[in-house]
Structure 1
Amino acid sequence: MDRRYRWLLVVVLAVVVLAGSVVPLPGGETTLGPFGLVGADKYTHAFAYLCLGGALAFALAPGQRWVGVAALAVVVTSLYGGGIEVVQGFVGRDPSLLDWGADVLGAIVGVALAIGFDRALQRRVWTER
């Protein structure tokens, strides 16, 4: 995939996550997610940041060492999530450390999946030659 498209995906996902995070939600009860352990919103947070972290890692990856890419992608994505949690306090939403924890967890999983995907893609390219 062309590097410009990788970065376009990161920007689009970042805008979607920001918009979904700062738009006030209609009042309602928090529903529990699968297994009844945490609220369904935590799964939404984790999935959103899984996508964002994975996309960022994939955009940073070409020609770079994965250790540095992984660390940078997790840190940047986590800071983005933390910043959004702070902003939520000013736009009628409730900031939450648990939401931020779900963001960080999602970013870690997304980056790990991006690494696995890239390695599988590289193996496939080399075995097809």
Structure 2
Amino acid sequence: MNAERAREFLLTLPHVVETMQWGDNLVYWVGDKRLGGKMFALVDLAGEMSHGVACFAAGPERFHELVEREDVFPARYLARAHWVASRQWNALRDSEWREEFTAAHAIIYEKLPKRVKGWLELPAKEQQKLIREREAKVSAKG
């Protein structure tokens, strides 16, 4: 696995939105964050070893199994939410990366409120309209 193959795979998952944040990080969300979507994975394009090349939501059970593997460690700032990070792409086989990313997506999707899940089922045009309406409300308040 590498950053480009990870990106290609992550974008195939349902309702995934990609953003570039916090420097050279591709952040993957289940649903647009402006609609209440939540982050489930992050790929560091700079590949800084202290943060790892990628991190993802592992869940409480899987978290403890994964951190026992070489080159996998509790994700900085996110470990309390059971996220793990990997120092290098070859810490997991490609099939394992796909399984872990799919599981991370499912973990976060299940935590979304019913209202947000309903919005994710709307056609893209309706989602964009909803985003504009929500942003207009925020602008009117500020």
Q: Under TM normalisation by the shorter chain, which class is it? A: under 0.3
The two structures have a TM-score, normalised by structure 2, of: 0.24
The two structures have a TM-score, normalised by structure 1, of: 0.26
Higher relative contact order (CA 8 A, sep 6+): 1
Judging by fraction of residues, say which structure has more helix.
1
Judging by fraction of residues, say which structure has more strand.
2
